[in-house]
Amino acid sequence: MEWLETSTENCPVQLTLDLVGEKWTLLVLRDASNGVRRFDEFRRHIGMSEAVLSDRLRKLTEAGILRTVPYQEPGSRSRNEYRLTRKGWDLWPVLVALKQWGEAYTGDDAEGPVLDLRHGTCGAPVRVTVECEQGHTALSPSDVSARPGPGARPRS
């Protein structure tokens, strides 16, 4: 079976995009990975409406990407903070890859990166690379063979 003969209904890229493939959702995840936790902080920093933000936070929480943690300011009612779960943190390389691509192909980088990610131990800039399970890193598309896997279903 060739790729064009396979169904895309169970494609992990498609299923992932169903969960997180919308601009506002990715911006919420970007901010959450950088320490933003409270509703008003997300709203102010991203500049989205309360209704859209509420919807995205609800969907990410229902999907197990974010979890809520109650907090209470003195004299105020209890509210929730939003924190990435392990499932949410597993999306961090995707965000770094989008940042990396954006720095290479969009905007003016004369002033340097908007967010400077560096390895905590050596101080070197952080990059996303593709590697195989044997540890071969920085693979390019020409280094990889792609074919339908055991979960591929025939297209109907």
Number of residues that this document lists for the chain: 156
Tell me if 148 is assigned to some domain.
no
Closest of 84, 107, 79 to residue 30, by C-alpha: 84
The domain of 102 spans 3-143
Cα 99 to the center of its chain, rounded Å: 10
Rounded Cα distance, 82 and 34, in Å? 12
- How many structural domains comprise the chain? 1
pLDDT score recorded for residue 92: 98
Closest alpha carbon to 88 in 37, 52, 50: 37
pLDDT at 108 over 80: no
Residue with the bigger pLDDT between 129 and 3: it is: 129
Kindly state whether residue 152 falls inside one of the protein's structural domains.
no
- AA identity, residue 5: E
pLDDT at residue 48 above 90?
Answer: yes
Distances from the Cα of 136 to the Cαs of 33, 70, 110, 124, 130, in angstroms? 28, 43, 33, 20, 9
Residue 154 lies in a domain: no
How many other C-beta atoms are found inside a 10 Å radius of the C-beta of residue 78?
A: 8
Judged by average pLDDT, the poorest of 23-37, 87-101, 104-118 is 104-118
Tell me, what CATH number does 106's domain have? 1.10.10.10
125 falls in which pLDDT band (50, 70, 90)?
A: very high
Does 155 reside within a domain? Answer: no
